[in-house]
Each structure stands twice: as C-alpha cells, then as structure tokens.
Chain A
Amino acid sequence: MALDFGFAEEQEFFRQTVRDAVNRLIMPRAQELDEKEEFPWDLWKEFAALGYLGLRHKEKYGGMETDTITQMIFYEELARGSCGFAMSAIMQILMGTYFIARFGNEDIKQRILVPAIKGEKIGTICFTEDQSGSDLGGTRTLATKVDGGWRINGRKQWITNGPIADFATVMATIDPKLGLKGLNFYLVERKTENRDGFVPGQRLHKLGSRCSVTGELVFDNVFVPDENFLGEEIGKGVQYAGEILNEVRVMTGMNALAIAKNAMDDAREFANNRIAFGNPISKYQLIREKFAKFWAWYEASRTYLYKCAWMIQNNIPCIHDCMLAKYHSTEMCMYAVEEAMRIYGGNAFCTEYPPQRYWRDAKFLLYGGGTHEVLCDYLGRIYLKD
C-alpha cells in the first residue's frame, strides 16, 4: 500500500527524546543566547557530549548513521529551541563535515572528522563572497595548482562559525573564466604556527540567530597539500555541492517550520489571554483568520518537507521538490512571524516578548540555499518549459 503519512513509533520516540533534551538544555537559555550574541561554549560542550553531532556520520568515526527522516526530525526539534544554536550545530553536522567525510583521506578523517563529531574542532563551509551568493559562477576565490598542493587566495563572507572555526570546506575556482566548471572544494584549516591556513576576518553582527557567530574568512596565499583537494575530479565542485543541496534545502525548511510553530504557539497563548474590549482577542475573526491561514499552510509545508526527506532517503530524484518545499515553507514562516508580531500588538515591539526574536531569526531563511527570487526564476522557467 503506497502513501503512508505516519511516523513510525521509534521516530516519534526519537522526536520526544530530542524535544526533551532541547527543552532542558536550550529552551531556558534561548532568550539569553540571543541577547548575549556570543557563542555558547558550555552549551556546545554539553550538547556534543550527547553525541548528536555525529548524526550523519559512520560509526567508525564516532557517528551513528541515521536516516534522512531521523535527521530532519532532529533539525526540526533543535530549531525549536534556538535558531542560532541550531545554525551552528547543523553546520557542524551537515555542511561543515559532509565533504570531509565524503572525500577526505583516512588521515584527514582521523585528524578532522573524529574530533568534529566530538565537538572538539569546529567546522564550516564557505560559498559566499562579497560579490557572489546564489550565483556560484561569480566565485573569485582562486585556487592555483603548485607543486605538492594548491595555493588559495580570497575572502569568504557570511561564514557560520567563521570566527571560531578550526577547519573549513572552501569552494574556490581554478579559473573564473570557466564559470561553474572551474569550481572545486578544498579543505583549509585555521592558520597556526605550524600550519598555513585561513585567518578569521571581520565579525558580522546579525539581526537574528545571534548566538551563532558569523564572519569573514581570509585566505592569504594559503598553501594546502594535494590531499586537501576534496573531490575525485577537477571541476566537479558544483556537482558535488548538489549532493547535499536537497538536504540543505529541506533542513532550511525544518528551521522554518520550527520558527513558525514557536511564533504562532506563543501568539495563541497571548491571544487567548489578552483582553481587549471585554474579550480575549482570540474571539475576534480577524485574529482567528491569521491562525487558520497559518495552520493550513503549516500542515501543507510540513507534509511536503517530510515527503522530500522521504524521497531523499529513498534516492528518488527530488531537486525541484526540495526547492519548492523550501520556498513554500519559508514563505509560510514569513507569514507566521509577521502575523505573530501583529497579534502581540504593541508588545511585539518590546524585546521582552518572544515574537521579535522569531521574526528576526526567520529572515535568514530567505537566503539560505538560494534566495527566493533566484529560486522562483529557476522554478518558473522549469515549469514553463514543461
């Protein structure tokens, strides 16, 4: 029988377990984390000790090889706690370590991946530059072949975990004229006395996800040995990136679900208790409509996102579905956080109340995994061709 939309009992159990851990470790501190705008090292260590950073990796390196749906459940529950912490943790779990695990030799895996799974070394991935975001072909960080390795030159922007990263997977081009076909991934570590590497540049202060530290990474003629080339063939960087792009988009959608649900759950409690003109505002139709619209949209987003997770898990091609689901859920989230701000009325403007945090945290979803403008142009074009 096809079409079974329920989670298995074990998956519900996993969800409850993560939810409980998030409730205990992260929820009480979420507001403080946002206000302080510092990376929460103690929380990171506690969290790493539970083992979740190894969610996607092989047991032989200390991971636990879970399936895609389990991972998505994890991302959804984690983002409910603190979006900022989720950003850093998910970078470590997914983008920051994927290519190391995929293409790194055994020495690199032992030196980088194993401590990363324990939370001892922090990783990140570098795509964005000043002049290029969605447009990967605009990458200007240059990788020049030299004897025994490569020299990397350039600056990367908007790097999650950048200021504290120990290692990074860097997308660089061997020749800008080749466009997308010139792009490759390189492992670059942080510069130390004994080893050449990147240097953290300027720290960026963000509107939301503030406990996740973001900044610039500077590559000043950095030498990396041949083994740090992460790939099998030259020029296939974009293709390799495509291997995780679906997951990244669905993961972004999970963040959207979590933020939206938090925003509207808090708004529900507020609406049921806030009295205006003798009634709780939840009795008024214009308020009720907001919740109805959100609910319909949320359920649809959630179903589609988990369908995408299922397709990824079962190796069913789903590039467009993941783009559509990311677009759909993020737009839903934009609606939810906006409406939550309206429901709180004047109180929304005060930082003591939660909706402003959700509103701020949600904004980056518009850009992660491609801006909506780029996605829509692409998807529209695809649909019309068909």
Chain B
Amino acid sequence: MIPQSAFRNPKFERECKMSNEIWVFAEQRDGKVRKVAFELLSACAEFSKKTGQEVSAILLGSGLQEAVKSLTPSVDKIYCVDDPALTSYTSDAYLMNIAPMVKEHQPSILLGGATSTGKDLFPRLAMHLQTGYTPDCTGLTVGEDGRLVAKRPLFGGKIFAEMIFSEAKPQMATVRNNTFIVNPNLSKSAKLISVSPKTDPSPPKKKIIGLEKASGARLDITEADIVVAAGRGIKGPQHFKLMEDLAEVLNASVGTTRAVVDEGWRDVKDQIGKSGKNISAKLYMAFGISGAIHHVLGIGTCKTVVAVDTDPNALIFNYADYAIVGDLFQIIPALTEELKRVLAADR
C-alpha cells in the first residue's frame, strides 16, 4: 500500500507564492559546462527580468574550479557540490544531492538540457519531488507570476503542445540544444555557495565500468551547430568520405537516415528521424535524402535547411529553405572547396 503521505506533500502545495529563484542544472562533462546550460542561463536571465527572481545554477561534479569560473558571469548564484563521487553522472548520486537542495531552497523553476543526462535525471527527480516535468522542449515562456509555459513536439513533431504546470514546485523542463541563444553580454557576478555532498553508505546498485567513445572528434548530432547528412543517394558507405570532408570545413557533424542505417552503412547513433534522434542545428544540409516524413520530423526545429537531390519532386524540398536540384557527387566537393575559400577569406 503506498503511504498517503507520498501523494500530498504539504510543502509543495502551498498557494502560488512564487519562490525567489529560477534554477538551471548546469550539466558539465569533463569539468566543462555544456553549451545548452549557457543557453538556458541566458534565457533565464531574460525571464528573471519579468519576474524579478534570481537565476541560480546547480553544478555537480569534481574539480569544478574552471566550471565555476565559466558560470560566474551568467548567474546570480552557483550552488556547487564538488566531490569525486560525482565526477561522472549517475542518477542515484546526483538525485541524492539535488533533491535536498531543491527541498531546502524551493526554486519555482528547474531547467536542464535535453541531453542523455537530462533525460535520465529529470523524470526520476520529478517523480521523487512529486512535481511536474515536461521533456524535450523547443520553447519556453515565463509569465510575470512565474508560471512556466513549455512548448514541445508530440508524435515525433506532427503536433506541438503548450504545457502548463500545476501548483507543485519546481516546474521542471528539459530543453533542446539551440532553442535559446547564448547571450555573451551577461555580466553578473555569481555568489558561490558550496554545498556539502551527500553520500550513501550502502554499496551502489549501479556503477559505471567503462566508456566507449565514438570514433572521430565530432560532436553528437544532437549537439552540433551544423549537421550535414546523406541518405540513400550517396550509394555506398565509402562515399561518406565526401561528407566527412565537408563536415571538416564546417566543423559540423555527419548524420544520416534510417535507410542508410538499415543498410548497415552507418551507425544508428547518426540516425536522424523518428526512431533516431531529433536535431536542432542552426544549419542542416541534406544530400540525397528523399524526405520521408519520419526523417523530416527529426529536423523540424533546425533553423536553416538546405537540400540537394537529383529528383526535382523530392519531398525534402518542401521542408527546406534552400534547394539545389543536382547530383551530390558533383555538388559536395564543389561546396567543400567554395566553403574553404569563403571561410578562409574571413580569417
């Protein structure tokens, strides 16, 4: 029998008195705070102008001096838990530290990036805190009363929904990369609050025993600012060299379609589309991709889309900003050269 107390926690059901902080989970990897956290902090800086709240970052990890330094201009407060046990993310250790902090300080909003960590931590944390959470958002607005409205895609992007929260606090959301722009002009001076780490004396049920890094130094397609992708039109795994060369010039990551993954030419981690990943790049370039619906829904939130295909009737052209009807084997090398020339001229 689930205890009644689990359902109604009086602390969180007080009247809609806005607590005075907006929190951002400043996810870090190898001691560096991830870009999405800075995007969210910039967004919260705007929100706080409306609501008069303070913006705080919560930072967990170990050896966090650099991270703290990088965050200082962007926030009013940094709650920092520095402990070797927190070096790598595990849901148990992070939850054990974050939950008491939330309960003590009662932020009205808690945001994080829709990263593998965010999507792992936030649902469990929200269940623990008995509060509302909406994942993978592509837009946020905050009213003067501190109420959050989160916009997110459903059915793979066929429909969007504006989500609102009950009285439970904090209102939690994870947000996609590139939804907000980093404001380079924030010049706050954060107050650092060191929080002592909580540890569980019992042996951990779950521990990390290894990490297989993907080959290549490129960012994951969900994180990259620019993504170039090829579909079946590339006619074979060996031709992806063309894509790699193009990606090199643009500092982009290389994605692909389900058809290519199913053929075994590329790994599923590069797959864009419904059963793969949704990307929100600033620039997305599609070569030899017909534009099946499950793929195009995965690129819906990319800012600028370029499509190149030999078929003038290709569906992908309906979802692009710029299009060239042409042979990718001719276009890509020429594009790579032209970009090299133009970008070099800028330097």
- Does A61 interact with chain B (Cβ within 8 Å)? no
A47: chain B residues within 8 A (beta carbon): none
B192: chain A residues within 8 A (beta carbon): none
- Does A371 interact with chain B (Cβ within 8 Å)? no
| Chain B, residue nearest A352 (CB) | B311
| Chain B, residue nearest A270 (CB) | B313
- Does B323 interact with chain A (Cβ within 8 Å)? no
Bound-state CA distance A270–B318 (Å) is 13
A166 CB → nearest B CB, Å: 34
Q: How many residues of B contact A (CB 8 A)?
A: 3
A276 CB → nearest B CB, Å: 11
- Does A274 interact with chain B (Cβ within 8 Å)? yes
Bound-state CA distance A184–B301 (Å) is 69
B315: chain A residues within 8 A (beta carbon): 269, 273
Bound-state CA distance A86–B263 (Å) is 25
CB 8 Å contact bits of B303-315 with A (1 = contact, 0 = none): 0000000000101
Bound-state CA distance A269–B290 (Å) is 13
| Chain A, residue nearest B314 (CB) | A273
B313: chain A residues within 8 A (beta carbon): 270, 273-274, 347
Question: Which of chain A's residues 332-386 have a Cβ closer than 8 Å to chain B?
Answer: 347
Question: Which of chain B's residues 310-326 have a Cβ closer than 8 Å to chain A?
Answer: 313, 315, 318
* Residue among A270, A273, A274, A347 facing the most chain B CB atoms (10 A cut-off): A273
CB 8 Å contact bits of A6-21 with B (1 = contact, 0 = none): 0000000000000000
Partner-A contacts on B (CB < 8 A)? 313, 315, 318
A269: chain B residues within 8 A (beta carbon): 315
A281 CB → nearest B CB, Å: 11
Report, as a range, how many residues of chain A touch the other chain: under 10
Bound-state CA distance A373–B313 (Å) is 41
Please list 7 pairs of residues, one from A and one from B, whose beta carbons are closer than 8 Å in the complex, sorted by A's number: A269-B315, A270-B313, A273-B313, A273-B315, A273-B318, A274-B313, A347-B313
| Chain B, residue nearest A347 (CB) | B313
Bound-state CA distance A269–B318 (Å) is 13
B318: chain A residues within 8 A (beta carbon): 273
| Chain B, residue nearest A28 (CB) | B262
Question: Which of chain A's residues 76-129 have a Cβ closer than 8 Å to chain B?
Answer: none
Bound-state CA distance A269–B313 (Å) is 11
| Chain A, residue nearest B317 (CB) | A273
CB 8 Å contact bits of A245-289 with B (1 = contact, 0 = none): 000000000000000000000000110011000000000000000
Bound-state CA distance A274–B313 (Å) is 6
A270: chain B residues within 8 A (beta carbon): 313
B122 CB → nearest A CB, Å: 33
A20 CB → nearest B CB, Å: 14
Bound-state CA distance A273–B309 (Å) is 15
B315 CB → nearest A CB, Å: 6
B66 CB → nearest A CB, Å: 50
Bound-state CA distance A46–B318 (Å) is 38
Bound-state CA distance A369–B315 (Å) is 40
Bound-state CA distance A254–B313 (Å) is 32
Bound-state CA distance A274–B315 (Å) is 9
Bound-state CA distance A273–B315 (Å) is 7
B319 CB → nearest A CB, Å: 11
B82 CB → nearest A CB, Å: 51
B168 CB → nearest A CB, Å: 38
CB 8 Å contact bits of A272-314 with B (1 = contact, 0 = none): 0110000000000000000000000000000000000000000
Bound-state CA distance A269–B314 (Å) is 11
Bound-state CA distance A269–B292 (Å) is 11
7 nearest CB pairs, A to B = A273-B315, A274-B313, A273-B313, A273-B318, A270-B313, A347-B313, A269-B315
| Chain B, residue nearest A353 (CB) | B313
B301 CB → nearest A CB, Å: 22
A290 CB → nearest B CB, Å: 19
| Chain A, residue nearest B293 (CB) | A269
Bound-state CA distance A58–B315 (Å) is 48
B214 CB → nearest A CB, Å: 27
B327 CB → nearest A CB, Å: 16
